């Protein structure tokens, strides 16, 4: 008598759906980023910066502008974990409050650059000819200047201050986003889905923002992360030269400038603000590197 055939147990409908259901864009990005070590280190540092910027003013042990001349140049102690500066102000409190300034300037400046640059790049790549030449030659002129020198020149015209620093840094990084957006438009403007949209009578604005712009999201997201690190560094540099955040408001760059005069006597005045700048810039760079690897379509199957 023949033995009965062994039938493998079938997966339930729910299990099959759970195994085969594709992840969305953001879910897939987060899933792949979790497996990227460098990206996760950067994401952790960025998360700490964001939390410090949000809650630092409420969790700071002292008023960042409170002076106590009895503890001038105090080294790190239990009372002042990161020491005190030349006016007796708590360095930890000033760093925690200064995190909000650095992140705010970086986000607004990069927001300006990303918005204006992306729009200019989309228009230049889609319109072509004279419009493309005019816009991109203007971007080349901006590219011809070193970033920090161009920002200083803009501040010289607008006047020093935190708001003008945001505008100056934003203008400096507009050409980067413009080139990325334009490159994407040139790559896909003759694709079949764009031609199909034109054939059914879609307006140019709808074609740009509904069909072309989504193809530029991945490189724009990566560039946004990397530009945030440079924007924080640029704000620190401008404040270091006295052109950004004005006293008595705390700023990492300003604190670094103030600590420079007392580096031999009280090195902690410059070391700890410098570490804050370094960790923030490193966090956004690591996150940008991770996002670049995660969003690269050539690495999707690795």
So where are the chain's domains? 41-60+78-299
Grade residue 189 by pLDDT with cuts at 50, 70 and 90.
confident
Read off the tokens for 278: 């370094």
Cα dihedral 109→125→189→292 (10° resolution): -40
- CA 33, 27, 114: angle at the middle one, nearest 5? 75
pLDDT 10s digits, 86-130: 899 999 999 999 999 899 999 999 999 999 999 999 999 888 889
**124 Cα distance to chain centroid:** 25
Whole-number average pLDDT of the chain: 85
Give the per-residue pLDDT at 203: 85
- Output the pTM of the full model: 0.82
Q: What is the 3-state secondary structure (H, E, C) of the chain?
A: CCCCCCCCCCCCHHHHHHHHCCCCHHHHHHHHHHCCHHHHHHHHHHHHHHHHHHHHHHHCCCCCCCCCHHHCCCCCCCCCCCCECCCCCEHHHHHHHHHHHHHHHHHHHHHHHHHHHHHHHHHHHHHCHHHHHHHHHHHHHHHCCCHHHHHHHHHHHHCCCHHHHHHHHHHHCHHHHHHHHHHHHHHHCCCHHHHHHHHCCCCHHHHHHHHHHHHHHHHHHHHHHHHHHHHHHHHHHHHHCCCCCCCCCCCHHHHHHHHHCCCCCCCHHHHHHHHHHHHHHHHHHHHHHHHHHHHCHHHCCC
Grade residue 1 by pLDDT with cuts at 50, 70 and 90.
very low
| Residue 101 burial (C-beta neighbours within 10 Å; 0-12, 13-18, 19+) | buried
Q: What is the CATH number of domain 41-60+78-299?
A: 1.10.3720.10
Q: How far is CA 204 from CA 35, 48, 123, 134, in A?
A: 40, 42, 10, 20
Q: How many residues does the chain have?
A: 302
Give the per-residue pLDDT at 174: 94
Give the per-residue pLDDT at 201: 80
Grade residue 185 by pLDDT with cuts at 50, 70 and 90.
confident
Grade residue 299 by pLDDT with cuts at 50, 70 and 90.
low
């Amino acid at each position: 008598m023949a033995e009965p055939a062994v039938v493998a147990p079938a997966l339930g409908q729910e299990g099959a759906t759970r195994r085969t259901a594709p992840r969305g864009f953001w879910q897939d990005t987060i899933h792949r980023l979790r497996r990227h070590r460098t990206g996760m280190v950067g994401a952790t540092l960025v998360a700490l910066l964001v939390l410090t910027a949000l809650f630092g003013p409420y969790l700071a042990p002292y008023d960042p502008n409170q002076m106590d001349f009895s503890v001038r140049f105090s080294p790190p102690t239990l009372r002042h974990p990161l020491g005190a500066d030349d006016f007796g102000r708590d360095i930890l409190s000033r760093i925690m409050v200064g995190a909000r300034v650095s992140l705010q300037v970086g986000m607004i400046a990069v927001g300006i650059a990303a918005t204006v640059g992306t729009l200019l790049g989309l228009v230049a790549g889609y319109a072509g000819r004279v419009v493309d030449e005019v816009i991109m030659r203007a971007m080349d002129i901006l590219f011809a200047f070193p970033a920090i020198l161009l920002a200083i020149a803009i501040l010289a015209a607008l006047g020093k201050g935190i708001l003008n620093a945001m505008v100056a840094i934003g203008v400096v990084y507009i050409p980067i986003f413009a080139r990325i957006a334009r490159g994407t438009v040139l790559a896909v403007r003759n694709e079949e889905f764009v031609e199909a949209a034109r054939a059914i009578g879609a307006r140019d604005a709808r074609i740009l923002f509904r069909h072309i712009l989504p193809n530029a999201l991945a490189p724009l997201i990566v560039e946004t992360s990397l530009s945030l690190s440079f924007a924080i560094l640029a704000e620190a540099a401008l404040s270091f030269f006295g052109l950004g955040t004005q006293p008595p408001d705390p700023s990492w760059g300003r604190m670094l400038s103030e600590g420079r005069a007392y580096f031999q006597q009280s090195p902690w005045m410059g070391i700890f603000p410098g570490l804050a700048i370094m960790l923030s810039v490193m966090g956004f760079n690591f996150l940008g590197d991770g996002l670049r690897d995660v969003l690269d379509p050539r690495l999707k199957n690795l």
